[in-house]
Amino acid sequence: MNELNATAHKILDVAERLTQLHGFNAFSYKALQDEVGVKTSTIHYYFPTKQDLALRLVERHGVRFAELLKQIDGTHTEAIGRINALAQVYIDTLSQGKFCMCGMLASDLLALPEQANLRLQEFFQQVEAWLAKALVLGQEQGRIHSGIDIEGTASLLLSTLEGGMLIARAHGCSAYLERVMNTLMQQIGKAYTE
């Protein structure tokens, strides 16, 4: 990701924003030109085809998200706090009218090159692995019910974030996602059955 220069990063920044707003199929190199301020031919210099752009987009996002998760671990010692911090990232994205980058790319799946598809799968697995770790920590801290299936619940949390975000955005209301996540957290949290 650091082998890219400032122009390439700026192109990816705009492409990322347009993807999250409209979807990968719904913006053109011309739209990037208008926002980035360089000609489409310059964009093709960095990303010869749109499929190259898709791959770089998902690659950079995966790296950055890994850093974000590490940062949350550094600032939150409690498992519940970590999961809520992740949820807040999704809620903040929603409040900008945007959908999850990888959720959007997943909806545009058939337009992506195979390699981007693989990176997308890795991204989801990466977040689930982080969630599973947080759930185990929560059990040790006595805040997460000990009877739950860790792997299944990690997948459930991610699915709820993605699906809740999708529906919340349709309703134009980020509170929907908050409510859904609170409902789930109450059901897996210890307070629920005690």
Partner DNA sequence: GTCTATAGGCAGATAGAC
Partner DNA sequence: GTCTATCTGCCTATAGAC
Q: Which of 111, 117, 98, 113 is nearest to 165 (CA)?
A: 98
Note whether 95 binds a copy of itself by CB under 8 A. Answer: no
Degrees to nearest 5, angle at CA 148 with 143 and 153: 95
* The entry of DNA, a copy of itself, none that residue 45 binds, CB within 5 to 8 Å by partner kind: DNA
CA distance 88 to 98: 14
User: 179 is written with which tokens?
Assistant: 């409510």
Among 99, 126, 131, 142, binds a copy of itself (CB under 8 A): 99
* The entry of a copy of itself, DNA, none that residue 50 binds, CB within 5 to 8 Å by partner kind: DNA
Interacting positions 143-182 with a copy of itself (CB under 8 A): 147-149, 152-153, 155-156, 158-167, 169-171, 176, 179-180, 182
User: 46 is written with which tokens?
Assistant: 């960095």
Q: How far is the CB of 54 from a copy of itself (least distance, A)?
A: 13
Cα 129 to chain centroid distance, Å, stands at: 14
Q: Which residues bind DNA (CB under 7 A)?
A: 5, 7, 27-31, 37-42, 44-46, 48-51
